[in-house]
């Protein structure tokens, strides 16, 4: 037969990948069985085999259970259930189809999402007697999450509702109203009876009011997954082809867009610019390769590209990041553990991934956000992921092939999750990127604490250093990481050039605050012990920290008590006029107006007061939002 | 040399299937250390061979072919195998279960079940172990048999070579998980989404050489158990009253000759086979005795290690 007469050559349409969603109760098996039968896909011996099996299980002779044609595994046939996704080919005179049949029981989300990941169109079944039910909405929700662009609503069992136009219309309206929320590219609604055959392959004579296509006509007419001319070129490098020293080709399948010799491209992650010299195939060089083509590119420049790299359009490059927000479908019986390491496969590359934050779970029936600390089998969550290196990607809604990934358990090697990238968490400058891998939060998380500054202020002799030391001892015993910046000690070194004038006091506090800020960035709990008499300087220090990081502790003791203690003999010297600008004598102390904690050191012992601070820190950590 | 587009006058369906298969074969070449491609000499093997040439062009296929020889193939098949190996220069490993051979295991004396188990399934596992194969590529298609419709493209086998159909890795997008634990191996099926018709149309488009037994000719056959069995050599003993008759037949599927039935047909060119298939009423595996021992027999054999 001459090739030109082949229908798919004439119509120029490729294979359409179709996912069917629905349960046996909706008549899904009957519909698929009928599609296969009426397009001549079921061979006589296969039908006889199904009939044998039907009879063996006590079915009626004339009534072959069409589901037996579909259930492929012995366990399924014996238990009358379908355990796994099945893929079947069928063809009409005009077009070829790959049908992914996802069973509708407890493994439902996992199976349906698997089938949806490659589908161009989904057939959603409803029973005309029941209309749009929770399960129908769940189908829509998953299809929209995974990004299936087009839907065909099969309103089945029309024979059982008297072929009623009004009923069909009501269901179709109901369905469209729901589906419209998601912006599917196309929704077709067809009233049918899979059992009798109306509107499956042949038009129905019982529903003269319906003038639309049959299921087969609708499938044949589907445009398939179209790609606009504007989509930029992407090709993950699958393998380097180097048969001899004179040839170096980068083999891969074009994931998006198109490429021609002479095009400028960029190779990630190196981000080197190169020019496409040749597009090599066994059947000769190509002038153009486009989405889905398996090709080998030869670049004019000697660029060090290897498996896992992404070749992309020069003018519209992908994003690069090592942290992003995504939606994740969990596929494994062992639940997702945040902070645990998994392998991520994205494009042809692999990275080590960690879910840093599970923001919420998505209820597939209602799309409501549910707070969650874990993600179990068949659950979908919204989370942040961190990688051990930067990868090039596109948001999933823009390019499926460079925005979808799978997670693999590092020990069992099972495929445990499938994810869709929404956006990078770092869209800012290189400076931000530079501090990504280990930042304040990760350092603090490593130390099992939340970094902060405890700023002890008060008169000389009020007990600031005593309190800071008492608190640090308890922190240390608790396994926390801390450091005390003491007024006197810092003045011996860093601040030895400063005196006690108002200007020098202000500079003294500024330096304290800057050092404290660095230590907080290191993930430490910093205890500053300094008289810091002026509100303005304390406010300056507070504003240098992030909100919530600065904890002002007013160490409050009456000046008489302090003067009586006078452990360093300073009050006596000040009274004698030997020290100028002494706080409380000839320099004011501005009492804190909004201290987080006030400690009356004259009324309790230091360890009791220190416990109050520890208690404060604990409750703060348990309620603080993660940053 | 340069062509405008890959679709000029070609089928987009075959082009899409070809591209997907090439991607799968390249993945095997990149992700595994000691893969082999199972070569059964049939039409599917011929198509896989061409796809592998394309996948690694202008380089060579980075893995050898493995033929598990039951010693009961049609003579024309051996001739074709040796000719292809000479012409294409591929490395070919031929493995025979010599233990089974020494015990005289054969389809006539021991029945199709035992013969297939010892000379095919056991032999295959011996070869995979001997060559420490981590990935075996095979030409099985999902349209061939019901349990195959549920098998993954990259299908994991335990260290005992067993398939667990209830615990398969979901395959999302084209992101294949090729990871192997200790002792585990992978079976890879690049023709999963092809149909028998696709295979023949591709053979037509690509002018792929196939064993002449696929084409109709007058051949000596006897009718046994409802199948037309060809009298291929003198190891076949005729039952009393059994007389070979000359019929115009061809084979849709090629296996061990005593287990493979011929069909009456006039199709003597690839084009004629394509036309015949378009009006076929029976599946190609009807004529394979191995599939009918009992319901789900293929699944059972696959669990035990058969392709």
The alpha carbon dihedral of A176, A94, B151, A52 has a sign of positive
- Specify the residue for token string 């095919």: B120
Find which of B170, B171, B192, B261 to mutate to test the A interface (most A CBs within 10 Å of its CB): B170
Looking at chain A, which residue has its C-alpha nearest residue B292?
A49
CA B71 to chain centroid, in Å, comes to 16
The span from the CA of A387 to the CA of A421, in Å, is 13
CB-based burial label for B282 (10 Å; 0-12, 13-18, 19+): middle
The predicted pLDDT at position A3 comes to: 36
Instruction: Copy the structure tokens of residue B225.
Output: 């158990």
Q: Which of A554, A528, A548, A558 is CA-nearest to residue A468? A: A528
pLDDT of A23 over the 80 cut: no
* Phi/psi at A596 (5° precision): -65, -35
Q: Which of B58, B60, B177 sits opposite A408 (nearest CB)?
A: B177
Looking at chain B, which residue has its C-alpha nearest residue A258?
B5
| A:B CB pairs within 8 Å | 205
CB neighbours (10 Å) of residue A500? 15
Task: Pick the range with the lowest mean pLDDT from A31-35, A609-613, B20-24.
Answer: A31-35
Question: Active-site residue among A532, A587, A604, A622?
Answer: A532
A130 Cβ partners below 8 Å, 6+ apart?
none
DSSP label of A499: -
The span from the CA of A250 to the CA of A259, in Å, is 13
CB neighbours (10 Å) of residue B281? 11
The predicted pLDDT at position A58 comes to: 60
The predicted pLDDT at position A449 comes to: 84
* Strands ordered across the beta sheet of A86-91: A86-91, A96-101, A16-21, A121-127, A150-156, A186-191
Cβ–Cβ < 8 Å for A386, A325: no
Q: Which of A1, A75, A414 sits opposite B169 (nearest CB)?
A: A414
State whether B2 and A284 contact (CB < 8 Å): yes
Please confirm whether the linkage preceding B58 is cis (ω < 30° from 0).
yes
- pTM score, whole prediction: 0.76
Q: How confident is the model at residue B1 (pLDDT cuts 50, 70, 90)?
A: very low
* Phi/psi at A22 (5° precision): 155, 175
The span from the CA of A359 to the CA of A23, in Å, is 32
User: Which residue did the predictor score with more confidence, A340 or B153?
Assistant: B153
Instruction: Copy the structure tokens of residue A477.
Output: 């015993």
Collapse the DSSP code of B204 into the 3-class scheme (helix H, G, I; strand E, B; otherwise coil) and give the result: helix
pLDDT of A470 over the 90 cut: yes
Compute the nearest-CA separation of A87 from chain B (Å): 5
- Specify the residue for token string 């000759």: B257
Instruction: Copy the structure tokens of residue B6.
Output: 């890959």
Instruction: Copy the structure tokens of residue A31.
Output: 């519909």
State whether A49 and B295 contact (CB < 8 Å): yes
The predicted pLDDT at position A18 comes to: 95
The predicted pLDDT at position A497 comes to: 87
pLDDT of B156 over the 90 cut: yes
Find which of A49, A79, A97, A239 to mutate to test the B interface (most B CBs within 10 Å of its CB): A239
The span from the CA of A436 to the CA of A323, in Å, is 9
Task: Pick the range with the lowest mean pLDDT from A457-471, B96-110, B194-208, B224-238.
Answer: B224-238
pLDDT of A434 over the 70 cut: no
State whether B2 and A113 contact (CB < 8 Å): no
Q: Diameter of chain A by CA atoms?
A: 118
Q: Which of B5, B26, B168 sits opposite A239 (nearest CB)?
A: B26
H or E element in which residue A257 lies: none
**How do residues A116-173 score in pLDDT, each as one tens digit?**
999 999 999 999 999 999 888 888 989 999 999 999 999 999 999 999 999 999 999 9
State whether A418 and B179 contact (CB < 8 Å): no
For residue A3, which residues of chain B lie inside 8 Å, CB to CB?
9-11, 204-205
The span from the CA of B192 to the CA of B153, in Å, is 6
User: Which residue did the predictor score with more confidence, A65 or B158?
Assistant: B158
Cβ–Cβ < 8 Å for A389, A362: no
CB neighbours (10 Å) of residue B104? 8
CB-based burial label for A278 (10 Å; 0-12, 13-18, 19+): middle
Instruction: Copy the structure tokens of residue A94.
Output: 């005009």
A393 Cβ partners below 8 Å, 6+ apart?
A318, A319, A320, A321, A324, A346, A347, A402, A403, A421, A424
The residue-averaged pLDDT of B57-70 equals 95
The predicted pLDDT at position A152 comes to: 97
Looking at chain B, which residue has its C-alpha nearest residue A255?
B174
Per-position b or e across A234-256, b if 16+ CB within 10 A of its CB: bbbbbbbbeeeeeebbbbbbbbb
Cβ–Cβ < 8 Å for A52, A11: no
* Phi/psi at B7 (5° precision): -100, -5
**How do residues B237-278 score in pLDDT, each as one tens digit?**
888 888 899 999 999 999 888 888 999 999 999 999 999 988
Looking at chain A, which residue has its C-alpha nearest residue B205?
A3
Cβ–Cβ < 8 Å for B272, B266: yes
Instruction: Copy the structure tokens of residue A205.
Output: 């004579």
- Alpha helices of A404-501 — where are they, by DSSP H? 430-434, 440-446, 464-477, 487-492
The residue-averaged pLDDT of A90-111 equals 80
CA distances from A436 to A241, A387, A545 (A): 35, 10, 19
Q: How confident is the model at residue B298 (pLDDT cuts 50, 70, 90)?
A: low
Compute the nearest-CA separation of A549 from chain B (Å): 44
User: Which residue did the predictor score with more confidence, A70 or A348?
Assistant: A348
The span from the CA of B158 to the CA of A387, in Å, is 30
State whether A43 and B171 contact (CB < 8 Å): no
The predicted pLDDT at position B295 comes to: 47
Looking at chain B, which residue has its C-alpha nearest residue A8?
B11
CA distances from B307 to B144, B255, B258 (A): 12, 13, 19
Q: CA-based angle A85:A86:A90, to the nearest 5?
A: 145
The residue-averaged pLDDT of B57-75 equals 94
The span from the CA of A2 to the CA of A5, in Å, is 6
Compute the nearest-CA separation of B102 from chain A (Å): 35
DSSP label of B182: T
How many alpha carbons fall within 13 Å on the CB side of residue B95?
Answer: 25
Q: Which of B56, B298, B170, B129 is CA-nearest to residue A247? A: B56
Q: Which of B265, B261, B262 is CA-nearest to residue B216? A: B265
The residue-averaged pLDDT of B192-202 equals 94
Question: How does DSSP assign A123-175, residue by residue?
Answer: EEEEETTT-S-HHHHHHHHHHHHHT--EEEEEEE-GGGGTT-HHHHHHHHHHH
Q: Count the helix, strand and coil residues of chain B and give each as a percent rounded to the nearest 5.
A: 40, 15, 45
ipTM: 0.90
- Specify the residue for token string 């989904």: A122
Q: CA-based angle B181:B182:B186, to the nearest 5?
A: 60
pLDDT of B226 over the 60 cut: yes
For residue B227, which residues of chain A lie inside 8 Å, CB to CB?
none
A532 is catalytic: yes
């Amino acid at each position: 037969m001459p090739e030109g007469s082949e229908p798919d050559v004439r119509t120029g349409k490729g294979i359409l990948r179709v996912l069917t969603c629905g349960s046996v109760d909706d008549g899904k098996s009957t519909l698929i069985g009928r599609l296969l039968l009426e397009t001549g896909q079921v061979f006589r011996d296969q039908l006889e085999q199904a009939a044998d099996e039907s009879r063996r299980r006590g079915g009626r002779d004339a009534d072959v259970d069409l589901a037996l044609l579909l259930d492929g595994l012995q366990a399924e046939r014996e238990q009358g259930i379908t355990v796994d996704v099945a893929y079947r080919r069928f063809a009409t005179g005009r077009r070829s189809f790959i049908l992914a049949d996802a069973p509708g029981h407890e493994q439902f989300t996992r199976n349906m999402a698997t089938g949806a990941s490659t589908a161009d169109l989904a057939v959603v079944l409803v029973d005309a007697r029941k209309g749009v039910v929770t399960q129908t909405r769940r189908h829509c929700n998953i299809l929209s999450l995974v990004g299936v662009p087009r839907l065909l609503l099969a309103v089945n069992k029309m024979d059982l509702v008297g072929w009623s136009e009004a009923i069909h219309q009501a269901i179709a309206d109901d369905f469209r109203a729901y589906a419209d929320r998601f912006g599917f590219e196309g929704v077709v609604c067809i009233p049918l009876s899979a059992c009798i055959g109306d509107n499956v392959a042949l038009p129905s004579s019982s529903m003269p009011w319906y003038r639309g296509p049959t299921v087969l006509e609708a499938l044949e007419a589907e445009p398939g997954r179209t790609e606009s001319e504007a989509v930029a070129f992407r090709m993950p490098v699958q393998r380097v082809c180097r048969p001899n020293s004179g040839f170096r080709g980068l083999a891969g399948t074009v994931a998006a867009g198109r490429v021609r010799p002479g095009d400028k491209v960029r190779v990630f992650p190196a981000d080197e610019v190169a020019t496409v010299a040749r597009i090599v195939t066994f059947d000769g060089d190509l002038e153009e390769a486009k989405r889905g083509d398996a090709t080998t590119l030869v670049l004019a420049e000697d660029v060090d590209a290897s498996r896992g790299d992404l070749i992309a359009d020069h003018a519209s490059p992908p994003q690069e990041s090592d942290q992003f927000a995504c939606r994740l479908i969990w596929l494994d019986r062992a639940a997702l553990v945040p902070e645990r390491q998994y392998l991520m496969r994205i494009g042809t590359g692999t990275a080590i991934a960690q879910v840093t934050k599970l923001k919420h779970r998505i209820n597939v029936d209602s799309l409501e956000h549910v707070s969650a600390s874990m993600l179990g089998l068949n659950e979908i969550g919204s989370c942040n992921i961190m990688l051990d290196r930067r990868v090039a990607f596109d948001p999933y809604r823009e390019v499926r092939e460079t925005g979808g990934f799978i997670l693999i358990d590092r020990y069992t090697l099972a495929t445990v999750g499938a994810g869709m990238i929404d956006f990078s968490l770092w869209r800012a400058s290189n400076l931000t990127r530079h501090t990504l891998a280990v930042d304040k939060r990760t350092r603090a998380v490593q130390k099992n604490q939340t970094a902060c500054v405890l700023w002890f202020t008060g008169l000389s002799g009020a007990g600031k250093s005593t309190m800071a030391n008492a608190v640090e001892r308890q922190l240390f015993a608790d396994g926390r990481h801390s450091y005390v910046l003491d007024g006197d000690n810092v003045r011996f070194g860093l601040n030895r050039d400063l005196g006690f004038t108002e200007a020098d006091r202000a500079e003294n506090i500024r330096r304290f605050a800057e050092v404290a800020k660095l230590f907080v960035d290191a993930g430490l709990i910093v205890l500053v012990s300094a008289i810091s008499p002026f509100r303005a300087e304390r406010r300056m220090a507070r504003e240098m920290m992030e909100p919530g990081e600065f904890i002002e502790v007013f160490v409050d003791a009456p000046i008489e008590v302090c003067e009586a203690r006078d452990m360093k003999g300073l009050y006596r010297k000040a009274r004698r006029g030997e020290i100028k600008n002494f706080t409380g004598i000839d320099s004011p102390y501005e009492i804190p107006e909004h201290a987080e904690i006030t400690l009356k050191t004259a009324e309790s012992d230091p360890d009791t007061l220190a416990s109050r601070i520890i208690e404060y820190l604990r409750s703060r950590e348990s309620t603080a939002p993660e940053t | 040399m340069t062509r405008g587009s890959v679709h000029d006058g070609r089928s987009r369906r075959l082009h899409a299937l070809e591209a997907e298969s090439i991607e799968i074969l390249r993945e095997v070449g990149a992700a595994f250390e000691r893969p082999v491609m199972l070569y059964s000499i049939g039409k599917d093997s011929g198509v896989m061979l061409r796809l592998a040439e394309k996948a690694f062009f202008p380089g060579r296929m980075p893995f050898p072919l493995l033929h598990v020889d039951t010693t009961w193939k049609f003579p024309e098949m051996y001739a074709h195998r040796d000719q292809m190996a000479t012409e294409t220069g591929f490395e070919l490993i031929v493995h025979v279960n010599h233990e089974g051979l020494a015990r005289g295991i054969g389809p006539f004396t021991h029945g199709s079940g035992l013969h297939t188990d010892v000379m095919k399934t056991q032999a295959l596992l011996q070869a995979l172990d001997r060559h420490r194969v981590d990935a075996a590529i095979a030409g099985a298609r999902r349209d061939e048999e019901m349990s195959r419709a549920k098998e993954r493209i990259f299908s994991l086998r335990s260290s005992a070579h067993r398939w667990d159909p209830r615990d398969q890795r979901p395959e999302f997008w084209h992101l294949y998980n090729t990871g192997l634990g200790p002792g585990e191996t992978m079976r890879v099926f690049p023709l999963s989404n092809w149909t028998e018709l696709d295979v023949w149309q591709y053979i037509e488009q690509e002018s792929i050489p196939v064993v002449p037994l696929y084409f109709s000719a007058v051949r000596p056959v006897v009718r046994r158990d409802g199948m037309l069995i060809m009298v291929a050599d003198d190891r076949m003993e005729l039952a009393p009253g059994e007389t070979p008759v000359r019929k115009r037949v061809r084979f849709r599927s090629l296996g061990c000759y005593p287990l493979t039935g011929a069909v009456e047909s006039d199709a003597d060119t690839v084009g004629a086979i394509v036309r015949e298939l378009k009006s076929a009423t029976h599946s190609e595996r009807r004529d394979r005795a191995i599939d009918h021992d009992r319901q789900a027999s293929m699944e059972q054999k696959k669990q035990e290690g058969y392709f």
